[in-house]
Chains A and B, each alone.
Chain A
């Protein structure tokens, strides 16, 4: 099992450019998440998908869109990148909503917006 995979690992964009971050999991998990991690701020939830076909906003959704393509894949799109979106982006998945369920994280995408 590969777990949670993310592409690309690194990306540099110019202000105004668009891009899509890809995420896939092979654990048959229902829930998938996109977080951003900035120094001193932990992980902040951007969007999540509790099940295939549903998506919901998290704490910091502005400037992002998501697509739950199927049960395995959950993509994050930046339509017009801004320097404030420079961050490390993590995708995660979780089997269900039980209090003890673990979230499994991908290795992250390091995005720089110039």
Chain B
């Protein structure tokens, strides 16, 4: 199993603050996805990064794929209460085992 470690596991911040969530592995991935999950619902895709060093922006969210395609980060600028949720990274391993491996998740709470 390709292990993906996310940090921090829990994060509670005030509205307007910035934050970064990390997703790390010793394995190489063909691509990496970030999902957000709200209580009582399934995860919803935010972004997919494919190329080493790739940076994608989605409004106040910035996603980066590491140069070696082993790690990724999610940065949120000026967090809002609507950003509250469980953030999951998921990597598609290189090679023949083409099933997503999910990280353990980061529970983000943004307080008004």
Closest Cβ of chain B to A83, distance in Å, is 22
**Mostly helix, strand, loop or mixed at chain B's interface?**
loop
Q: Is A74 an interface residue (CB 8 A)?
A: no
Within B78-112, which residues are at the interface with A (CB < 8 Å)?
A: 88, 90, 92, 98-100, 102-105
Contact B104 A99 (CB under 8 A): no
Closest Cβ of chain A to B103, distance in Å, is 5
Q: Which of A40, A43, A58, A100 is packed against the most chain B CB atoms within 10 Å? A: A43
Contact A103 B92 (CB under 8 A): no
Within A43-93, which residues are at the interface with B (CB < 8 Å)?
A: 43-45, 48, 58-59, 90, 92
A4: nearest chain-B partner, CB-CB: B42
Closest Cβ of chain A to B76, distance in Å, is 20
- In the assembled complex, the Cα of A108 lies from the Cα of B44 at a distance in Å of 13
Contact A42 B92 (CB under 8 A): no
Contact A99 B30 (CB under 8 A): yes
Contact B103 A42 (CB under 8 A): yes
Interface residues on A, range: 20 to 34
Residues of B contacting A45 in the complex (Cβ-Cβ under 8 angstroms): 99-100
Q: Which of A4, A48, A92, A100 is packed against the most chain B CB atoms within 10 Å? A: A100
Contact B102 A43 (CB under 8 A): yes
Closest Cβ of chain B to A35, distance in Å, is 8
- In the assembled complex, the Cα of A74 lies from the Cα of B87 at a distance in Å of 26
Instruction: Flag B1-33 by CB within 8 Å of A: 1 or 0 each.
Output: 100101001000000000000000000001101
A107 CB contact (under 8 Å) in B31, B42, B90: B42
B50: nearest chain-A partner, CB-CB: A99
B30: nearest chain-A partner, CB-CB: A99
Within B22-81, which residues are at the interface with A (CB < 8 Å)?
A: 30-31, 33, 40-45, 48, 50
Can you show 19 pairs from A to B with CB atoms below 8 A apart?
Answer: A40-B105, A42-B103, A43-B88, A44-B102, A45-B99, A45-B100, A58-B99, A90-B42, A92-B42, A97-B98, A99-B50, A99-B92, A100-B31, A100-B48, A100-B50, A102-B48, A105-B44, A107-B40, A107-B42
